[in-house]
Amino acid sequence: MPKPANDTAKLKNIIRLAQELLDTIESGKSGKAKSSKAGGQRIRRSGKELVAFRKMLKAERKKGVRVEELAGKHGVSTAYIYQLGV
């Protein structure tokens, strides 16, 4: 049973996408560019540093900075920022 031309084109597209994915993985680049400041590692803040960080986040939110921008800039989730109640 012969395959329609449309199916063949779809399969070729899937193969091309898979090859691009393999190429990016092999070259060391990931699909997502953003990571936290510490090279992708989590930062644990405690004590005075945590209090200062939360104050700074609240101040920036009051200035009107978007939550998504803050989360990306500081390597925290948007839920964490919303949880602070600002």
pLDDT digits (tens, 9 = 90+) for 15-37: 999 998 888 888 875 545 444 44
Greater pLDDT, 36 or 78: 78
Q: What are the Cα distances from residue 31, in Å, to 8, 23, 34, 36, 38?
A: 27, 11, 9, 15, 19
Query: pTM for this structure?
Result: 0.49
pLDDT digits (tens, 9 = 90+) for 40-77: 566 788 899 999 999 999 999 999 999 999 998 888 89
Give the residue extent of every domain in the chain.
5-28+45-83
- C-alpha angle with apex 64: 70 to 55, nearest 5 degrees? 60
What pLDDT is recorded for position 86? 63
Find all residues with CB under 8 Å of 62, minimum gap 6, and list them.
86
What pLDDT is recorded for position 25? 86
How far apart, in whole angstroms, are the C-alpha atoms of residue 7 and residue 51?
Answer: 58
31: three-class secondary structure by DSSP = coil
